[in-house]
């Protein structure tokens, strides 16, 4: 900042040298704080730019890699999210976009000191992984969650070339699993790994290679095995790495001899620092008891890949006095959830997934009693994800009366449009109770038979709401209007199969620029409505995904997001982009 | 386990089938339909109950085809599907059990029972009925309800006619039929 000579003003005399300012600002880590700081004045903007080490980009199309690299040339860590969340449920075509390659190309020259890359719902090819491994000499940490487009060959190049790798975290991806040889690509003297998660993969890795790797990496804290990992192997790994803080076990159903069981139990007993346990595909009740000695400090237990029954859960929980987060399948039933309520006073988060989401005859599910039982025993509950086949307004009201601190309330009654099964009324009052009682509510997912009244409640009471997910609900455009008018902090809105049309879409005109994105599918929005929106708001990208055979004027799936990068140029033919520019 | 695209294994294709129109519409699949064949025939007269059950089943069947619903991540869906596929072979043989007049079905694991007597006792306890006395010649005598099952060919058979092992491997589901409809069964072909 160049100043013409002037009287020394108070601001000049208190100006810090840039280096000092940068050091001070470096102590601020929250992106929100950093963003606020950068708006104070040009000096501070510049200091923030040079000292920012981590960037979080919630929508990869909201900004271009060039802009990011130009503004933050010294970043070490990038988190990038790509496709809309509903791509998790097959609602987005495979070739939609969100390819990471263009980002890597720019970063290779603009931010060559990049050390960490965390990607969610991005397209990542083997070619990109190889480029990453070869062009960023300081690269240390790679995390891929819900990505697709790569194979185990890509992992092999990362293992081969990233000499300082500390983290390799491969979760829930659409990965082409060719062989387990990638693990053997780590050099024999490589020992820096702290996080290794390959639970996503099916093909088996060489057990000897894995064991030698684990014993070399003395700083290994997180180890998540894949399904084919046997109990025998697990036992040896635990003995070799008792310092683990997070463990993902493999398959847990083998029949063990008494001796083997004792050895396994002993191995678990060596692990005094475990705070997270997951994996356990097909755990048998008997084998589970081997895990008890490791549970005394457990804060997060993820049993959502094995159909645990209520007696098994009831036997396990008393060994986990510090449990704060629990993920299970609905096979545990209401009785299992009663055990949760009875044994987990510190519980803050519970997620109950369906064992058989498409089999409506299955009775091994949870009902409203289960969720009430948990709320009665766990007053600190603030996060719930609950899949069920029946619910009542009264039960939900009881739950939020017991636990008014919910920040995340996600209820999925699996039959679309199902009413309260005791009164046959809509579930409006349930969600009304939630938004009235839970002042800190940030994320809400609603389901069941719902009229515009639900949305009226949401708009009126959910003043801190940031994310709302809606399906098969509402009676008219009013529903969406209530939300757009009332929820001033809303950042993400996803809607499917609701009777909201152009009037509803356009009612949010003023809001979309302060939101990350809007998704509307199978609603009543038309192409013309999208065109109007794009015309009025040039800094939004309005995209329409057309389905085969639908009417020309229908906007089957609409995705609207704010951007400083203009309309994207990599959209496939089935995606129409409307822009006011 | 072979390689190949892991996320394509066990794809629940039905669930991801694209459908137009509101949920609940779409092709109806009749379940529990009537078949003509040389084996013990099903009664051809459909009661109102059967009709509504079939309609309900059809409704459920078409609803299960909503794309992306319930909102379970593909990864988790495929994981469960793999489990189901392997479970059928290894541990547990779950079959649905319906009873005429009962509002919902149950599911039982056939592997848990060692033979017909145990199975029948369990069914009787579950649905609160008495099956009567079985004889090869006359089927189930002296009871209002008759246990039947659908075999691999889609035919409805009387429970108890074939050796237990053969029954275990061929039974797709069970139906406890009202005695009046089961007339014709158990009187010899």
Tens of pLDDT, residue by residue over B88-141, are 545 568 888 998 888 888 888 888 888 898 899 889 888 888 888 888 888 888
**CA gap A122, A117 in Å, rounded:** 12
List chain A residues with CB under 8 Å of B16.
90
Closest CA to A349 of A308, A392, A378: A378
Name the pLDDT band for B8 (thresholds 50, 70, 90). very low
Q: pLDDT for A213-232, tens place per residue?
A: 999 999 999 999 998 888 99
List chain B residues with CB under 8 Å of A550.
20
Name which residue leads in pLDDT, B164 or A84.
Answer: A84
Compute the mean pLDDT over every residue in chain A, rounded to the nearest whole number: 93
List chain A residues with CB under 8 Å of B64.
358, 360
- pLDDT attached to residue A102: 97
* Shortest distance, CA A521 to any CA of chain B (angstroms): 11
List chain A residues with CB under 8 Å of B173.
none
**CA gap A478, A486 in Å, rounded:** 12
CB atoms within 10 A of CB B89: 8
**CA gap A319, A312 in Å, rounded:** 12
- pLDDT attached to residue A333: 94
- pLDDT attached to residue A14: 56
Q: Which residue of B16, B64, B68 is in closest CB contact with A86? A: B68
Interchain CB distance below 8 Å, B72 and A353? yes
pLDDT, block means (10 residues), chain A with 581 residues: 50 68 87 91 92 95 97 96 95 94 97 96 97 97 96 96 96 86 95 95 91 97 93 94 96 90 96 95 89 96 93 96 97 96 97 86 81 97 96 98 98 95 97 98 98 98 98 97 98 97 96 97 96 95 90 94 95 89 66
Q: What tokens does A290 get?
A: 């081997």
Q: pLDDT for A243-271, tens place per residue?
A: 999 999 998 988 899 999 999 999 999 99
Closest CA to A93 of A576, A580, A581: A576
Interchain CB distance below 8 Å, A363 and B106? yes
Report yes or no: A250 and A282 within 8 Å, Cβ to Cβ.
no
Interchain CB distance below 8 Å, B75 and A362? no
**CA gap A68, A64 in Å, rounded:** 7
Report yes or no: A330 and A353 within 8 Å, Cβ to Cβ.
yes
Interchain CB distance below 8 Å, A91 and B75? no
Report yes or no: A179 and A203 within 8 Å, Cβ to Cβ.
yes
Across B138-166, b (16+ Cβ under 10 Å) vs e yields ebbeebbbbbbbbbeeebbbbbbbbeeee
- pLDDT attached to residue B102: 84
ipTM of the assembly?
0.87
Interchain CB distance below 8 Å, A253 and B12? no
Q: Which residue of B3, B67, B84 is in closest CB contact with A91? A: B67
- pLDDT attached to residue B67: 87
Q: Which residue of A90, A174, A204 is in closest CB contact with B16? A: A90
Q: Which residue of A90, A200, A307 is in closest CB contact with B68? A: A90
Interchain CB distance below 8 Å, A177 and B5? yes
Query: A interface mutation test: which of B57, B68, B97, B175 has the most A CBs within 10 A?
Result: B68
- pLDDT attached to residue A79: 97
B63 and A CB contact within 8 Å: yes
Query: B interface mutation test: which of A254, A355, A358 has the most B CBs within 10 A?
Result: A358
Q: Which residue of B6, B14, B83 is in closest CB contact with A282? A: B83
B56 and A CB contact within 8 Å: no
Interchain CB distance below 8 Å, A90 and B66? no
Interchain CB distance below 8 Å, B71 and A361? no
Question: How many residue pairs from chains A and B have C-beta atoms closer than 8 A?
Answer: 113
Query: B interface mutation test: which of A201, A204, A357 has the most B CBs within 10 A?
Result: A357
Q: Considering the entire predicted model, what is its pTM?
A: 0.79
* Shortest distance, CA A159 to any CA of chain B (angstroms): 20
């Amino acid at each position: 900042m160049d100043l013409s000579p002037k009287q020394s003003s108070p601001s000049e005399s208190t100006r810090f040298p840039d280096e000092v300012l940068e050091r001070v600002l470096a102590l601020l880590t929250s992106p929100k704080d950093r963003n606020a700081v950068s708006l104070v004045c040009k000096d501070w903007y510049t200091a923030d730019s040079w000292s920012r080490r981590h960037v979080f980009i919630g929508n990869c199309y909201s900004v271009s890699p060039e802009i990011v690299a130009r503004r933050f040339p010294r970043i070490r860590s990038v988190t990038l999210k790509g496709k809309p969340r509903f791509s998790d449920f097959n609602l987005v075509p495979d070739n939609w976009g969100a390819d990471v390659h263009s980002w890597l190309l720019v970063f290779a020259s603009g931010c060559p000191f990049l050390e960490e890359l965390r990607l969610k719902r991005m397209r990542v090819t083997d070619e990109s992984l190889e480029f990453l491994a070869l062009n960023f000499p300081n690269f240390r940490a790679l995390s891929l969650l819900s990505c697709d487009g790569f194979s185990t060959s890509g992992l092999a190049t990362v293992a081969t070339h990233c000499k300082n790798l500390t983290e390799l975290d491969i979760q829930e991806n659409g990965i082409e699993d060719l062989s387990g040889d990638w693990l053997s690509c780590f050099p024999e003297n490589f020992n820096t790994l702290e996080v290794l998660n390959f639970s996503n993969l099916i093909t088996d890795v060489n057990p000897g290679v894995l064991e030698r790797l684990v014993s070399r990496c003395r700083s290994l804290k997180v180890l998540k095995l894949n399904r084919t990992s046997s109990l025998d192997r697990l036992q040896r790994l635990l003995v070799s790495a008792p310092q683990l803080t997070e463990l993902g076990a493999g398959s847990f159903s083998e029949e063990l001899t008494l001796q083997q069981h004792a050895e396994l139990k002993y191995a678990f007993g060596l692990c005094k620092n475990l705070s997270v346990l997951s994996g356990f595909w097909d755990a048998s009740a008997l084998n589970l008891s081997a895990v008890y000695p490791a549970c005394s400090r457990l804060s997060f237990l993820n049993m959502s890949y094995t159909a645990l029954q209520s007696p098994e859960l009831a036997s396990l929980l008393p060994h986990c006095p510090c449990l704060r987060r629990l993920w299970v399948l609905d096979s545990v039933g209401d009785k299992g959830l009663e055990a949760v309520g009875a044994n987990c006073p510190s519980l803050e988060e519970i997620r109950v997934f369906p064992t058989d989401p498409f089999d409506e005859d299955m009775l091994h599910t949870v009902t409203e009693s289960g969720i009430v039982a948990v709320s009665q025993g766990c007053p600190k509950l603030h996060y719930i994800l609950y899949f069920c086949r029946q619910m009542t307004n009264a039960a939900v009201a009881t739950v939020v009366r017991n636990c008014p601190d919910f920040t995340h309330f996600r209820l999925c009654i699996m039959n679309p449009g199902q009413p309260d099964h005791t009164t046959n009324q809509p579930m409006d009052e349930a969600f009304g109770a939630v938004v009235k009682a839970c002042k800190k509510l940030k994320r809400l997912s609603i389901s069941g038979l719902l009229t515009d009244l639900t949305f009226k409640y949401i708009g009126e009471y959910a003043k801190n709401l940031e994310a709302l997910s809606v399906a098969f609900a509402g009676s008219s455009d009013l529903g969406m209007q209530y939300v757009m008018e009332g929820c001033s902090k809303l950042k993400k809105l996803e809607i499917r199969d609701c009777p909201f049309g152009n009037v509803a879409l356009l009612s949010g005109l003023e809001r979309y620029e302060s939101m990350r994105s809007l998704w509307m599918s199978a609603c009543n929005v038309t192409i013309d409505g999208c065109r109007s929106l794009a015309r009025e708001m040039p800094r939004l990208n309005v995209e329409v995904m057309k389905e085969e055979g639908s009417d020309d004027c229908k906007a089957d799936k609409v995705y609207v997001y704010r951007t400083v990068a203009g309309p994207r140029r990599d959209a496939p033919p089935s995606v129409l982009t409307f822009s006011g520019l | 386990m072979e390689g190949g695209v892991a996320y394509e294994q066990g794809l629940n294709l039905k669930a991801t089938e694209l459908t137009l129109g509101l949920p609940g519409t779409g092709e109806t699949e009749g379940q529990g339909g009537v078949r003509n064949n040389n084996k013990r025939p099903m009664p051809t007269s459909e009661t109102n109950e059967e009709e509504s059950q079939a309609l309900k089943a059809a409704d459920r069947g078409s609803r299960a085809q909503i794309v992306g619903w319930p909102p379970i991540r593909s990864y988790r869906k495929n994981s469960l599907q793999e489990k189901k596929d392997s479970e059928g072979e290894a541990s547990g043989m779950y079959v649905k059990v319906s009873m005429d007049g009962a509002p919902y079905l149950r599911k039982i694991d056939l592997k848990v029972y060692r033979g017909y007597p145990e199975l029948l006792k369990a069914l009787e306890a579950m649905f609160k009925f008495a099956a009567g006395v079985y004889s090869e010649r006359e089927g189930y005598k002296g009871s209002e309800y008759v246990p039947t099952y659908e075999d691999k060919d889609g035919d409805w058979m009387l429970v108890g006619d074939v050796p237990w092992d053969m029954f275990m491997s061929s039974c797709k589901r069970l139906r406890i039929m009202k005695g009046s409809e089961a007339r014709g069964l158990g009187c010899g072909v």
